[in-house]
Structure 1
């Protein structure tokens, strides 16, 4: 495990990668762009490190000694909404990952360009910090309340959504997705429109990623007891937010 001390004002990226050449290449490029990094090579070390250093983002390899990236990601999502970029060595593996409830915000395939990964990191961090696109700001007000006794409320200022005051444990991507759906109840959004809203600068992300995010949203709404509020599938088109 290699840890760089975090300088004041610099964002800290945790790189979980057992290939030292890839880890060194990525961390060097991150340092060039003003980030501080911590690197660990064993999946068993990742969760304790996130608790210890509270990174701004995690770059997580799929195949790791100790435990794999899927297990790490699931454990992180039990207590943290830190943005996660999952890395795999196989293109076809991404399709499988998108169908799983991993909770990752993005996926990249090796061999990758460090420039591309840093661009994705910067995009996710901007959104996690509340830098929503101008289009999103013009489309809806800073606070959206779903009907039915104002039980479900989204707040752009804190990037949070609450059910009867209870904070939903959403990732940045899940927040943006549910926020958009809530802004127009009963309106049908296509997968392409939803994908463009949450990943508009990540052009090679499959639209099947939306299905995975919707699955996560449904699970979290159910866990919070959000009775009468649901995300409905519209066959062959996309999704709409429904309020009974």
Structure 2
């Protein structure tokens, strides 16, 4: 992996550098929001994962996250935050973060989450490299088509673009079994590939962001089943 860690605490950076070296990963640090944006914008395709602290000098981490997402809708992004309020965490996920880790954190836990996110991202890239025509769709319903190899998505014959890796995986999971209700816990295990120990706000935040993108092309097809979870259903539309 090639990692950009945006963190103003030099001790934390030095600690994580030891773990990055142990895994034979390349890495660079940015210690404030302005430097981080300059470094990322100079080579946005260079980075496999962005680690972003929200409490940064010169420019707030939330704004940095939003700016990164404008440049690259898909680069894997993990937030590092001492803000443990629900609103801060949900806002970060809504901006486009794939995951968050609350400080103080265990380096081993962070490394595990990085590996899980990277693994899913690489599997998606491998699927893109496989031969497939645009007319080959793995998932088709009455108003929905998805090609998991080319990562093309059409809803009501309109393309759905700028999906993050997690949003794509979440939509694929729901649409692969139309009208089946998935609990938040099930979605955490299927989409995030590891336990969140009951932190189901992650699912809600990603559902909200995914719905906003789907609503740009047609009626809403991700339904809330109150007290249970979510389902994909386009038959009513």
Q: Which residue of 2 aligns with 1:144?
A: 139
1:71 aligns with 2:63: yes
Deviations for 1:33-84, whole angstroms, at most 9, x for unmatched residues?
0210111011122233223232111000010012222111112222311111
Q: Which residue of 1 aligns with 2:9?
A: 19
Structure 1 residue 168: deviation in Å? 1.7
1:59 aligns with 2:56: no
Secondary structure of 2:123's counterpart equals coil
Q: Which residue of 2 aligns with 1:186?
A: 179
**Which residue, out of 20, 26, 34, partners 2:24?**
34
Q: Distance in 2 between matches of 1:45 and 1:205?
A: 35
Q: Distance in 2 between matches of 1:41 and 1:197?
A: 35
Q: Which residue of 1 aligns with 2:40?
A: 50
Structure 1 residue 162: deviation in Å? 4.1
Structure 1 residue 145: deviation in Å? 2.0
Secondary structure of 2:100's counterpart equals strand
Q: Distance in 2 between matches of 1:162 and 1:15?
A: 35
Q: Which residue of 1 aligns with 2:88?
A: 97
Are the equivalent residues in 2 in contact too, given 1:144–1:154 (CA < 8 A)? Answer: yes
Give the gaps of 5 or more residues in structure 1: 1-10, 133-141
Q: Distance in 2 between matches of 1:179 and 1:62?
A: 30
Q: Distance in 2 between matches of 1:67 and 1:204?
A: 32
Structure 1 residue 105: deviation in Å? 0.8
Q: Which residue of 2 aligns with 1:240?
A: 231
Q: Distance in 1 between matches of 2:145 and 2:26?
A: 35
1:195 aligns with 2:185: no
Are the equivalent residues in 2 in contact too, given 1:130–1:156 (CA < 8 A)? Answer: no
Q: 1:229 to 1:145 in 2, by over 3 A?
A: farther
Q: Distance in 2 between matches of 1:13 and 1:130?
A: 18
Q: Which residue of 2 aligns with 1:120?
A: 113
Q: Which residue of 2 aligns with 1:86?
A: 79
Compute the TM-score of the two structures, normalised by the length of structure 1: 0.82
Q: How many pairs are equivalent?
A: 219
Give the gaps of 5 or more residues in structure 2: 126-136
Q: 1:126 to 1:160 in 2, by over 3 A?
A: farther
Are the equivalent residues in 2 in contact too, given 1:130–1:159 (CA < 8 A)? Answer: no
Q: Distance in 1 between matches of 2:67 and 2:230?
A: 28
Q: 1:221 to 1:167 in 2, by over 3 A?
A: closer
Q: 1:86 to 1:160 in 2, by over 3 A?
A: farther
